[in-house]
Amino acid sequence: MAHRRLVSHLRRGSEWITHFQKPHFTGSFVIKQLPDQYVRTQRLLHTGQPAMMMKLLSVDELFAKRSLQEHLKKLEKEYKECLQAVTYSATEDECSDDEKKAKRTKVSQLAPLIQSIQELDKKQKEMTETEMLLKDDDAALRELAELERESCSQDIQHLRQKVLELLIPEEEADMSDLVLEVTAGVGGQEAMLFTAEVFEMYEGFAQYHGWSFDTLERTSSDLGGLRHASASISGPQSYKKMKFEAGVHRVQRVPKTERQGRMHTSTMTVAVLPQPTEISFTINPKDLRIETKRASGAGGQHVNTTDSAVRIVHLPTGVVAECQQERSQLKNREKAMKALRAKLYSMKLEEETSKRHNQRKVQIGTRGRSEKIRTYNYAQDRITDHRISMTVHDVKSFLLGEELLNEMNSSLQEFSNQETLIELLEDSHPQEL
Amino acid sequence: MWWRRTLSRSCRWCLGCRHSGAKRIWSFHYRALRSAPAVPAGRITALQALDIWKRHFEEEGVTEAEQSSQYIIAHLLGAKTIESVERQRLTEFLSKEKMEEVWQLCSRRLSRMPVQYIIEEWDFRDLTLKMRPPVFIPRPETEELVELVLTDLKSRSADTETRQTCLEVGCGSGAISLSLLKSLPQLEAFALDRSQDAVDLSRENALRLGLQDRLRVYHMDVIKDAERILGLFSSVSALVSNPPYLFSEDMASLEPEIFRFEDHAALDGGENGLTVIRQILTLASDFLLNSGRVYLEVDPRHPPLIQRWVEENVEGLQYVETQNDISGRPRFCILQKAVT
């Protein structure tokens, strides 16, 4: 079982989940422009605490928790109250329009969850009845009951899984597409070569999931590595999965450039910026300065240039995006704009999140981009994710960005979901933890 | 003939360019004008070829030395930009044939032939168009003109039932009309150009993009064939043009890429750059539907002149507004036919 596969259980009194926090956004680039308290939060991450380790609970274990059962009851009660208020207050006119509207939203938000809870209750009653039949004297009936029980228990598993999924709130950015940025870190040419390999790995990962992968920017090194590159990725669940990839990736191997066969350790950084929709995030065109080769001189028919590179500066923040990937200047402008929007949007999210959570814990996905998340060790042919202490083997296949990367990515997501859930239960029933 | 004029300005290259075919001009330049660097005896990688040609272009005073070598070599490697070539391919050795192709195409650039003509294609918005001398190479500003027309036509199509049509004067490679057709599946377009080369290229591009059913291209001169044109078109929703708008006195200061290779008739707008523009505006209200619009790309000095001239000389046409290009220059004029 995937849930069971992992990891030693580390528990420090009641603090054991205190370094987890909801994933809001991932890695970024403008720490210097953030409020002081954010920088302090960042420093907290480097106090030498071991990477988070916790046991992944099975669905049954979660449902055995009293806090979960109580939480579900509480939600059901809330739903009924809201439903009643919405249905009957039309005549009684007890609450204001705003309240009614809020309650209506609540009802539609909770509806799918409540429906699943009710189905689950029904199935559980069926199960109890079937189990009674198992004690019946009639052998044929008992056999039938046995079959019935099996299908019932399967349905219950599915419904429980569904309830858990519905309990985890969607993050604002989860529905977005994203901009991926890779930057070479420590290790010179070798780090740049590794950066190019990681960038290609994510291109493979996008292909594996049927997402589109559109390179926005590329700065190559002399040996064919990458100093820096970015790409726009879009498709269902793309941000939701990719956000777990942000952070520092470390490679340990004998570089091609090494003559004496010594092993080197190099790093590269992945940042994953949610791409806001046009409607949810607007930029005032007056705040932009667009720079092109054609800006000086007469332009138009007077000039024929093949240099179609575009650089856009957001004047209030000084954030810059560039693109020279395309032969059409307009296309370059669109791509640079995409990258710029993503940068500005994650700055905004980062600021909001740091205000809300600066006293709280840290979880997968929210770590600063200076956090080392994964090591690729060629000598041992293994990849280890330090956040969940998970190791898989076969670096070459992993770098294809297919099954192996997906497996690790899914484990990260499972962990993250469970943390969110436990945090949710802790918030609503603090006494129990 | 345009090239005769250029010839008289002591531009000998054009003669070769127009009459002797690619191979021969190349060898002509190779021997008589500017020499290409020696073809390396051993094998070299794409990266090395890029470097050799970049440096050679710089030494020979060819503009955009780095971009030129990058675009040409990327093209020969089957990509649009060097950034999109797989990194591994750049460090691999070129085959003998590839290397010869690199040398052949890059040598053409020594004559200052535009890269777009050398690789015979360029991108305009989301289209890749065939390019061939002397047909005018579309500029990035015109991508913005298309954006402007598209936005306007889209908002206007909401309140009309009839099928929208547009007429383009001076279509060159077909960039404007084809982009509009690509983005508006209901649109039909007519295009005209005085040059047979342009008409042929527009048709060829339409065919390559599968848009030939909605585009009709006419070989006509908006000034000489005015009578015939008036009989052909009426009730079009939009009249679009990137007409020749350079002032004749500015022609001599153009870079060799433009002056030697592009059709002067597509550039030279007469003494104050307004010759073709005035003709288009004179005819416009006869072509257009009520409230139909004219969209023009012009020289930044033109908008106030055009506005005044229209107010004084053309009845039934109102000046709507001037729009700037992204560099902030007054570049586009929008006019509208009054309701009659």
- Give tens-digit pLDDT for B47-97: 999 999 999 999 999 999 999 999 999 999 999 998 888 777 888 999 999
Interface of A with B (CB under 8 A): 196, 215, 218, 220, 222-226, 290, 292, 294-295, 298-308, 324-331, 333
Report the distance separating Cα B131 and Cα B133, nearest Å.
7
Question: Shortest Cα distance from A200 to chain B (angstroms)?
Answer: 10
Query: Residue A345 and residue B39: Cα distance in Å, rounded?
Result: 51
Sign of CA dihedral A339, A344, A350, A356: negative
Instruction: Please report the pLDDT score of residue B7 as a whole number.
Output: 39
Which of A225, A294, A302 faces B140 most closely, judged by CB atoms?
A294
Tell me the ipTM for this assembly: 0.86
Summarised one tens digit per residue, pLDDT across range B91-135 is: 899 999 999 999 999 999 999 999 999 999 999 999 999 999 999
Mean pLDDT of A174-198: 90
Inter-CA distances, B257 with A302, B55, B81, B131, Å: 11, 19, 20, 14
Report the range of poorest mean pLDDT among A132-146, A235-249, A343-357, B107-121: A343-357
CB atoms within 10 A of CB A228: 18
pLDDT band, residue A248 (cuts 50/70/90): very high
Give CATH for domain A26-54+175-416: 3.30.70.1660
**What length does chain A have?**
433
Mean pLDDT of A9-16: 35
Residue A396, pLDDT score: 95
With a pLDDT cut of 70, the percent of chain A lying above it is 79
CB A408 within 8 A of CB A394: no
Residue A256 C-alpha, separation from nearest chain B C-alpha, in angstroms = 14
Residues of chain B predicted below pLDDT 70? 1-34, 159-161
Instruction: Answer with the residue of higher pLDDT: B269 or A358.
Output: B269
In chain B, count of helices (H) and strands (E)? Answer: 15, 9
Q: Are A63 and A69 in contact (CB under 8 A)?
A: yes
Q: Which residues pair with A30 in a beta bridge?
A: none
Greater pLDDT, A86 or B17: A86
- On average, the pLDDT of chain A sits at 79
The tens digit of pLDDT for each residue in A14-37 reads 333 333 333 333 333 333 333 333
Q: Give residue B299's pLDDT.
A: 97
**Cβ–Cβ gap A330/B91 under 8 Å:** no
β partners of residue B236: B288
Helix (H), strand (E) counts: chain A: 10, 11
* pLDDT score recorded for residue A303: 93
Closest partner CB to A299 (pick from B64, B250, B329) = B329
B257·A308 Cβ contact <8 A: no
Return all residues near A167 (Cβ < 8 A) that are at least 6 apart: A71, A113, A421, A424
Amino acid at A305: T
Q: Is B227 on the interface with A (CB under 8 A)?
A: no
Written as one string, the DSSP assignment of B160-215 is --SPPEEEEES-TTSHHHHHHHHH-TT-EEEEEES-HHHHHHHHHHHHHTT-GGGE
Angle between the N-to-C axes of helices A403-428 and A188-209, in degrees from 0 to 180, rounded to the nearest 10? 80
Residue B151, chain A, CB below 8 Å: the answer is no
Cβ atoms of B174 and B205 closer than 8 Å? yes
Closest B-chain CA to A327? B123
Q: What string of H, E and C letters represents the secondary structure of B232-295?
A: HCCCEEEEEECCCCECHHHHHHCCHHHHHHCCHHHCECCCCCCHHHHHHHHHHHHHEEEEEEEE
What letter does residue A50 receive in the DSSP assignment? P
Q: What share of chain A is helix, strand, coil (3-state, %, to 5)?
A: 50, 15, 30
pLDDT, tens only, A153-176: 899 888 888 888 888 877 767 778
pLDDT at residue number A353: 67
H/E stretch holding A33 reads: none
Integer Cα distance of A19 and B130 in angstroms: 59
The pLDDT of residue A54 is 57
- pLDDT value at residue A362: 38
Q: Which of A193, A221, A230, A304 to mutate to test the interface with B (most CBs of B within 10 A)?
A: A304
Question: What is the rounded CA–CA span in Å between residue A186 and residue A345?
Answer: 28
Q: What is the pLDDT of residue B35?
A: 81
Q: Would you place residue A136 in the very low, low, confident or very high pLDDT band (cuts 50, 70, 90)?
A: confident
CA distance B190 to chain A (A): 23
Q: Where are the domains of chain B?
A: 2-120, 122-337
**In the predicted structure, residue A417 carries a pLDDT above the cut 90:** no
Place A89 in a pLDDT band, splitting at 50, 70 and 90: low
Choose the CATH number for B122-337 among 3.40.50.2300, 3.40.50.150, 3.30.565.10, 3.40.190.10: 3.40.50.150
